[in-house]
């Protein structure tokens, strides 16, 4: 009876009309699922192997072991994928979309979106790859783009050390922590937020970015025409057929308000130089580092006729220069803009003081570097630097024995003793002596110098030649930086009253005063800076812009490993 009941239960459970699945069918479905899992697992394994192969071939490529480029697609990628067992990380389409948006956005920073594989990634995004090899390539392009873009926003695309061996602001710059930050961003759906965090936020950088957008709009609208050459326009009421072209040029760049309607009944007046137009010319001259005399002479005309496309390039060049240093600025610092002939002092991030400066002439270029100011010397002596002694002073002394007395110079031997110039054989024995100018009104360093020890022997100092600060272009020194108002700076840095500074100077005694705290000093070279809503363009006095632009526009290297197929 028990056996019959059991058979009846089985028949009822699995007979006709039953909704249950026989056990054998369950085994079939389970087997199918396992097969599908194995198939997917096999494909994932192939993708991982393609990634691993690519990384290993990059690491073994000797050509990629030099320069900062290696970090972008070798060390970073290797560390990133080894820590992830070479597994794909770009598994969410939304994150790929964020990455595409980030790539497109760098055009606003003056970078080139194609450096970050925009076309290839866009193609894969729109047409999903269907083989493990292509999926691995898609993965690696995205990660390479992510690392490059992040690094370029943090430190710049162009390596400044390759352009200038004096550059020392890259010390300590590396990708430590970047891989972890990017990995966490991908894991937490915060990639866009991280890219925004890496982008420079300094007001000067942001304002210059806005300037780039404005000048690109001007270029898209056709830019401005040229003002023909001719005699200098300088007198109010002066008649010149080029006046309408001059006004039109200044209307486009915003120095003068655009006329809504032209009154042809005053055609003769339209050809005359007006007070309003002269003020617009002065404004233009101020924004381009020219003498603000209101005269349209050769220099002003040359600046007026620089095409808008060149100004766009100039802004891009200097956005790149900002990326080299702007995220390394400390809350309190001094910044000398060599190309702008000015110095600014920021205290806790706020502008505190500024002044005109004189920098090295093109033959004696002021170097670009960072150092720590440590002390101030009042009533300094000036020891003629070896380069000036060899190239200028000795040849002058051999021609004119009166050169020394005329410049108030003493001859000092190796023991520090002042000797009679007549006892020196200037033709062959001068290497045993140095020249010194004692403190006083004739001293080339003036009444104070500010010391930030460096291998270039460069410092900030006063000067008796105050008349040179009236010049618009002030590249007259042998490399050191002359200050227009040095006593004001001494007050600020030492926390002294103006009276105490003046008394110290009047005493005439050489005094060294240490700063309460060491102060970072940045000597930089910027030919375009933003002041509010205006872009100030500076003359490229050392002819350095072209090299930066060439490097900025050059394709960034990327190594595609085609042999990784399985």
The topology (CATH level 3) of 224-306 is Muramoyl-pentapeptide Carboxypeptidase; domain 1 (1.10.101)
Q: What are phi and psi of 345, to 5 degrees?
A: -120, 125
Q: What is the pLDDT of residue 478?
A: 92
Which residue did the predictor score with more confidence, 505 or 53?
505
pLDDT of residue 78: 83
pLDDT band at 251 (very low <50, low <70, confident <90, very high): very high
SS3 state of residue 464: coil
Task: Give the span between the Cα atoms of 478 and 476, in whole angstroms.
Answer: 7
Instruction: Report helix, strand or coil for 324.
Output: helix
Average pLDDT, the chain: 87
- Summarize the confidence of residues 318-332 as an average pLDDT: 95
Write the pLDDT tens digit of every residue in 91-138. Answer: 999 999 999 999 999 999 999 999 999 999 999 999 999 899 999 999
Mean pLDDT, rounded, for 315-338: 96
- pTM for this structure? 0.87
Cβ-Cβ contacts under 8 Å for 411 (sequence gap 6 or more): 404, 418, 419, 420, 421, 424, 433, 434, 435
Residue 190: pLDDT over 90: no
Beta bridge partners, 418, equal: 412
Cα angle, residue 95 at apex, residues 102 and 158 outer, rounded to 5°: 30
Active site (catalytic) residues: 461, 480
Looking up tokens 């600046």 gives 303
The values of phi and psi at residue 412, to 5°, are -120, 135
- Residue 510, SS3 per DSSP: coil
Give CA–CA dist 358/131, Å, rounded. 63
Instruction: Give 243's pLDDT tier (boundaries 50, 70, 90).
Output: very high
| Rg from Cα positions in the chain | 34
5-39 pLDDT per residue, tens? 333 333 333 344 444 444 444 444 444 444 444 45
Candidate from 231-235, 431-435, 512-516 with smallest mean pLDDT: 431-435
Closest CA to 327 of 150, 163, 489: 150
Tell me what the mean pLDDT of segment 291-297 comes to. Answer: 96
How many Å apart are CA 134 and CA 50, to the nearest integer? 9
pLDDT number for residue 44 = 79
Q: In terms of Cα–Cα distance, which of 311, 307, 321, 104 is closest to 212?
A: 311
Pick the range with the lowest mean pLDDT from 228-237, 421-430, 456-465: 421-430
pLDDT of residue 560: 61
DSSP secondary structure letters along 406-420: HTTPEEE-TTS-EE-
For the segment 246-257, the average pLDDT, to the nearest whole number, is 95
Looking at residue 35, its pLDDT comes to 45
Average pLDDT over residues 209-226: 97
Spatial contact of 529 and 317, defined as CB atoms under 8 Å apart: no
Q: Is the pLDDT of residue 566 over 60?
A: no
Percent above pLDDT 70 for the chain: 86
In the predicted structure, residue 200 carries a pLDDT above the cut 80: yes
More confident position, 107 or 71: 107
Model confidence pLDDT, tens digit, residues 367-403: 999 999 999 999 999 988 888 888 888 889 888 878 8
Residues sharing a CB contact under 8 Å with residue 187, sequence separation 6 or more, in sequence order? none
The token pair that represents 547 in the structure block: 């090299």
The Cα 178–Cα 150 span in angstroms is: 8
Q: What is the reported pLDDT for 175?
A: 55
Give the Cα separation of 175 and 71 in Å (integer).
8
CA–CA dist 98, 250 (Å, integer): 41
What per-residue confidence (pLDDT) applies to 558? 67
249 pLDDT above the threshold of 90: yes
Instruction: Answer for the pair 521, 403: CB distance below 8 angstroms, yes or no.
Output: no
pLDDT band at 564 (very low <50, low <70, confident <90, very high): low
Residue ranges, comma separated, of all CATH 1.10.101.10 domains in the chain are 224-306
Q: What average pLDDT score do residues 283-301 get?
A: 96
């Amino acid at each position: 009876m028990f056996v019959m009941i059991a058979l009846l239960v089985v028949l009822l459970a699995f007979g006709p009309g039953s909704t249950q699945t026989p056990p054998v069918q369950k085994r079939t479905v389970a087997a199918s699922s396992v097969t599908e899992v194995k198939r997917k697992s096999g494909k994932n394994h192939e993708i991982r192997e393609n990634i691993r192969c690519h990384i290993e071939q990059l690491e073994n490529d000797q050509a990629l072991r030099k320069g900062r480029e290696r970090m972008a697609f070798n060390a970073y990628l290797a560390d990133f994928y080894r820590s992830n067992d070479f597994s794909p990380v770009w598994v969410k389409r939304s994150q790929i979309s964020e990455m595409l948006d980030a790539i497109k956005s760098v055009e606003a920073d003056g970078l080139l979106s194609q450096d970050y594989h925009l076309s290839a990634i866009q193609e894969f995004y729109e047409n999903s790859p269907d083989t493990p090899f292509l999926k691995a390539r898609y993965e690696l392009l995205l990660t390479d783009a992510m690392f490059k873009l992040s690094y370029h926003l943090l430190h710049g695309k162009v390596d400044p050390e390759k352009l200038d061996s004096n550059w020392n602001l890259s010390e300590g710059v590396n990708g430590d922590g970047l891989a972890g930050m990017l990995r966490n961003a991908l894991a937490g759906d915060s990639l866009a937020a991280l890219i925004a965090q890496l982008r420079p936020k300094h007001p000067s950088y942001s304002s210059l970015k806005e300037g780039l957008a404005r000048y690109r709009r001007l270029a898209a609208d056709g830019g401005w025409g040229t003002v023909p050459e001719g005699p200098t326009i300088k007198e109010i009421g002066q008649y010149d057929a080029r006046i309408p072209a001059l006004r039109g040029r200044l209307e486009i760049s915003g120095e003068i308000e655009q006329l809504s309607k032209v009154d042809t009944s005053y055609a003769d007046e339209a050809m005359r130089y007006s007070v309003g137009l002269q003020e617009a010319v002065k404004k233009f001259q101020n924004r381009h580092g020219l003498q603000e005399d209101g005269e349209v002479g050769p220099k002003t005309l040359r600046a007026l006729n620089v095409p808008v496309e060149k100004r766009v390039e100039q802004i891009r060049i200097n956005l790149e220069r900002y990326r080299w240093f702007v995220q390394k600025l400390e809350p309190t610092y001094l910044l000398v803009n060599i190309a702008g002939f000015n110095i600014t002092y920021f205290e806790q991030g706020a502008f505190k003081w500024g002044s005109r400066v004189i920098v090295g002439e093109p033959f004696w270029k002021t170097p670009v570097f960072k150092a720590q100011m440590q002390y101030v010397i009042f009533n300094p002596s000036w020891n003629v630097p070896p380069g000036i002694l060899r190239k200028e002073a000795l040849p002058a002394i051999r021609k004119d024995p009166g050169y020394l007395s005329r410049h108030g110079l003493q001859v000092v031997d190796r023991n520090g003793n002042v000797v009679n110039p007549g006892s020196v054989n200037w033709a062959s024995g001068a290497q045993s002596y140095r020249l010194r100018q004692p403190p006083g009104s004739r001293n080339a360093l003036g009444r104070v110098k500010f010391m930030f020890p460096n291998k270039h022997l460069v410092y900030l100092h006063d000067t008796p030649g105050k008349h040179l600060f009236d010049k618009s272009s002030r590249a007259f020194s042998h490399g050191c930086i002359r200050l227009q108002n040095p006593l004001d700076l001494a007050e600020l840095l030492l926390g002294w009253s103006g009276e105490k500074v003046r008394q110290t100077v009047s005493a005439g005694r050489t005094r060294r005063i240490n700063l309460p705290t060491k102060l970072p000093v940045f000597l930089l070279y910027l030919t375009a800076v933003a002041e509010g809503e205006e872009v100030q363009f500076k003359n490229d006095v050392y002819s350095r812009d072209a090299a930066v632009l060439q490097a900025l526009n050059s394709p960034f290297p990327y190594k595609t490993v085609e042999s990784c197929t399985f």
